[in-house]
Chain A
Amino acid sequence: MTVQLELRNIAKSYGDNQVLADLDLRCRKGEFLVILGPSGCGKTTLLSIISGILSPDSGRVFSGGRDITSLPPEKRNFGMVFQSYALFPNLRVVDNILYGLKRSQWSKTAALDRALELMELTGISPLADRYPATLSGGQQQRVALARALAPKPEVLLLDEPLSSLDAKVRSSLALQLRELQRRTGVAAVMVTHDQGEAFSMADRIVLLNKGRVEQEGTPEQLYGKPASLFAADFVGRMNILSVSSINDGILTGIRYEDVQVSAPTEMTLGKPHTWVARIERVAFMGQFCRLELLLNDFSTRIFADVLFDKDKYKEQSLVAISLPRDRWCHFSGETDA
């Protein structure tokens, strides 16, 4: 697929504080790219540079092969959905959506048709005459999305678009947002700190840490094969072990749910990479329970997420735990988490 958006060697500093360092990024046509990272990782700065609100200290930005680094936001034709939506409070919903449809490019009827089409798509047609202040958060979010998509942008930018909604609205809107993006075929770049959101929506994720790309890939790649301790820790939960009998003492990760717990019989203990451990604590987590286990070297602690079973897992009882080799994660060139 052809590349829609490309960033090359982007750097940005505020005084001595380097926010982005020599960063490259590509987003293909029709792709949903998520930039994921903790707060302060530079992801908002990155999005501002893509939109043209900020200009980078060095590096270039391309859209459809055209160098747009020096273009101001109003000349880029990128749609943007803001965290706070930033709807114009003095304009009705329909006028908000019409705002970006320039007279020079859209006739009056064409613009109105386009606005109606988008309200239809986002399911806000009944709200056309309302003012933003009278809408719920979810409704405002749809208006913001319709407004951003109306001028047929080359790229849709989303700045934590779901973070100010409550949990239930959030998950249903996430699906609708993804569906809409797929249908319009617009390339989308979303910024978020919520890994669940990133996993459920992204074609590809770029994990950002301290202004650098820590890892990029599909959600499955990021979860299954985290490339660094940071990635392992930020995405899901993982045991980080340094035990001589595993991998010659090299730091090795294994996800909580990949730890297999069974009764300590001769058969189970005969399997490779299996040890005896004592259950120190059982924490009820809803659909599953989390066991805190002490290995028989009396120093290594391992967490395991297992299906809840009151009789099977008792505190202070002994169990066999297996750490399947195909689930091990290795990290290159890192010693601290």
Chain B
Amino acid sequence: MRPRPGGKATLVLLLPLAALLLGVLYPAAILLGRSMTDNMGSAIGLANFSAYFRTPGLATSLYHTLGVGVIVAAAVAVLAYALAYAFTHALVVGDRACRYLVVLPLSVPSVFFPIGMIYIFGRHGILSGVLGVGNIYGWSGIVFGEIVFIMPHATLLLVTALCGVDRRLYLAAQTLGASPWRRFRTITLPQTRNALLRAFLVAFILAITDFGVPKVLGGDYSMLSTELYTQIIGLQDLGMGSAIGVIMLVPSLMAFALDLWLVSSHPGQAQTGRYEKPVSAGARDLTFSLFAWGIVTVPTAIILAAVGGSFVAFWPYDLAPTLANYRFENSVYNIQPFFNSLEMSAAAAVAGMAITFAGAYVAVRTGANRLLSLLYRGMAFLSVGIPGTVLGLAFVFAFNRPENVLQLFYGSRAFLVFYCLIHFYAMGHLISAAGLASLDFRYEDAGKTLGVGRLSTFFRVILPLRFPVALEVAFYFFINAMTTVSGMVFIFSPDNAPASVAMLHFTDTGNYGEAAAMGALILAATLVARVAQEVLARRLRRPANRVNLRYRQ
């Protein structure tokens, strides 16, 4: 049912819409313009691009990146599909614990994995001799690290899709005599094919734009993201840097457009089945349990190794337990970046929740101006198409200019919060919108027939019913603001350096112990936030504010 027009509600959309236009389209346009000028600011057309492709060292970074992207995306899609299948179509022993471990990598910045990998597989790592891996710097290290980093993103997406496969179809196929393999081929795979493709695309975008893993493990294997960093921060060649940014943007936007097409063009695959746990089957469950636990062991071991490494003096030469790494003596910032990150992430969580929830409410549940809400939804979704690295770079060009009044705001903490809002807007919006759309649309009408206004119904019915969704959005913003590296390296300023960037600096100077310690603090903070979210959500599930029905005497 279509909600009835609500004129005033439309106004609520204007603020987030303006923020999105300012934070997505404007910087992207400036970046595009900047890529066609030299360092003095005069227009030179496509000279930067032709220089890029003519310089052998630079051009190879593109081929490297695309190659790594395809390999990583393929591996992640296949592994994550099998993992998601295990969780949805078999009974995994210790299912809950295993699922927590699957998403654990989301709680740390990507730069945390290389540290753990060095501790395990590096020249002096625990397993370097055993496995004979030897040199983890270069192609193999990047591919391995990215797979570990990206797996949870793809797995979450595929679990949702595999849950949606209508169980009754399996029963129907069974009564028609279909074998398990035939059921998989004719039901599971066709119904989740799009999700599988989407998982591939999501993994591809993350792999070609991530900065943390190649920064530490790249060695002399050049990647677009590290090349970008070198051009901007190292060589101060802003023209070439912005050209690389645009080159990185092209495959991302192509993958994004393909993704959009996949989502919108196959409504026939809209799945309506209610998920039911499969019945137990010994051999199948054992196989999938072994597989799932085998897979999660890898990221868990890497994270544990890094956390463990943060508590010893100097891995692997001096294994004496110490807290010295947590004093952060090798940095002028000391522990301050951690508190900066906490403050910034908390602000992003509150602001992100309020804005995306209110925006989604107006766009989904009110009859706000259709064109405007369509534009709003489009912009909210578009923000995910610009990778963090490119967005950060575009922010530099757009807001660090004397002619822009917003320069006063540049580099401030509020500016970093603004960056986080824009960068993670899409998911915040999607979570809110999905939660709000699944509520009966007649609540507002029921309120009106009782003479209660929309705003009152929002605060008394909609918000209490969907507060767990709002909490989830807040947590999403918090965890991502805590762990994001890619764009932050370009826009932070010394007095508010975030923890993830501090980690990067520690790895730059070879202080892996302190980098690991900073990562462990981030991990602890996100885990605490996670527990807080669950406790709050559980408490809210209890019926509150019940009116005492006994008559007063």
Contacts and interface: CB of A to CB of B under 8 A. Distances in A.
A91 interface: yes
Given A90-B190, A90-B191, A75 B171 contact: no
A73 B187 contact: no
B174 interface: yes
A90 B194 CA distance: 13
B174 A86 contact: no
Nearest to B177: A74
Q: In this complex, which of A74, A77, A91, A99 has the most chain B Cβ atoms within 10 angstroms of its Cβ?
A: A74
Q: Name A's interface SS.
A: loop
A53 B172 CA distance: 10
A100 B269 contact: no
Contacts of B171: 51, 53, 73, 80, 82, 86
A89 B175 CA distance: 17
A314 interface: no
Contacts of A51: 171, 175
A53 B173 CA distance: 11
A28 interface: no
A99 B173 contact: yes
Given A88-B186, A91-B186, A73 B168 contact: no
Contacts of B172: 80, 82, 86-88, 147
Secondary structure type dominating chain B contacts:
helix
Nearest to B170: A86
Interface in B184-222: 186-187, 190-191
Contacts of B176: 74, 79, 99-100, 147-148, 151
- Quick one: which of A53, A75, A89, A91 has the most chain B CB within 10 A? A89
Interface in B455-502: none
Interface string A119-149: 0000000000001010000000000000110
Contact of B268 (A84, A88, A89): A89
Interface in A58-85: 72-80, 82, 84
A220 to B, nearest CB: 32
B265 interface: no
Given A89-B269, A90-B190, A100 B168 contact: no
B280 to A, nearest CB: 12
Contact of B168 (A52, A74, A82, A91): A82
A88 B179 contact: no
B166 interface: yes
A86 B178 contact: no
B169 interface: yes
A102 interface: yes
A74 B175 CA distance: 5
A259 to B, nearest CB: 44
Contacts of A100: 175-178
A80 B173 contact: no
B182 to A, nearest CB: 9
B174 A74 contact: yes
B268 A148 contact: no
B179 A74 contact: yes
B169 A86 contact: yes
Nearest to B190: A90
A79 B268 contact: no
A99 B176 CA distance: 7
Contacts of B166: 86
Contacts of B175: 51-52, 73-74, 76, 78-80, 100, 148, 157
Nearest to B175: A80
A53 B174 contact: yes
Interface residues of B, number: 18
B168 A102 contact: no
A223 to B, nearest CB: 33
Interface residues of A, number: 29
Nearest to B268: A133
B177 A86 contact: no
A76 to B, nearest CB: 7
A207 B190 CA distance: 41
A88 B174 CA distance: 13
Interface string A27-39: 0000000000000
Contacts of B190: 90
Contacts of A52: 174-175
A279 B497 CA distance: 89
Interface string B141-180: 0000000000000000000000000101101111111110
A79 B172 CA distance: 9
Contact of A89 (B173, B177, B179, B191): B191
Contacts of B173: 74, 88, 99
A77 B171 CA distance: 13
B190 to A, nearest CB: 4
B191 A84 contact: no
Nearest to A72: B174
Looking at A73, A80, A87, which has the most chain B CB atoms within 10 Å of its CB?
A73
A172 to B, nearest CB: 24
B187 A75 contact: no
A157 B172 CA distance: 11
Given A86-B171, A89-B268, A77 B186 contact: no
B169 A74 contact: no
B168 A86 contact: yes
Contacts of A75: 177
A88 B177 contact: no
Contact of B174 (A73, A84, A87, A151): A73
Contacts of A87: 172
A174 B173 CA distance: 24
B178 A88 contact: no
A84 B172 CA distance: 11
Nearest to A144: B172
A91 B190 CA distance: 10
Contacts of B178: 74, 99-100
Contact of B177 (A82, A90, A133, A151): A151
Nearest to A48: B171
A72 B177 CA distance: 9
A87 B173 CA distance: 9
Contacts of B269: 89
B89 to A, nearest CB: 16
Contacts of B169: 86, 88
A80 B172 CA distance: 7
B298 to A, nearest CB: 34
B345 to A, nearest CB: 42
Nearest to B167: A86
B177 A84 contact: no
Nearest to B187: A88
A80, A88, A102, most chain B CB atoms within 10 A: A88
A164 to B, nearest CB: 13
Contacts of A82: 168, 171-172
A80 B178 CA distance: 13
B423 to A, nearest CB: 36
B267 to A, nearest CB: 9
Contacts of B177: 74-75, 77, 100, 102, 151
A102 B176 CA distance: 9
A123 B168 CA distance: 25
21 contacts: A51-B171, A53-B174, A72-B174, A73-B174, A74-B173, A74-B175, A74-B176, A74-B178, A74-B179, A77-B177, A79-B175, A82-B172, A86-B166, A86-B168, A89-B191, A90-B186, A90-B190, A90-B191, A99-B186, A147-B172, A148-B175
Interface of B: 166, 168-169, 171-179, 186-187, 190-191, 268-269
Given A99-B178, A100-B177, 7 more contacts: A73-B174, A73-B175, A80-B172, A82-B172, A84-B168, A133-B268, A148-B175
Top 6 A-B residue pairs of the complex, sorted by shortest distance between their CB atoms? A100-B176, A73-B174, A86-B172, A86-B168, A80-B175, A90-B190
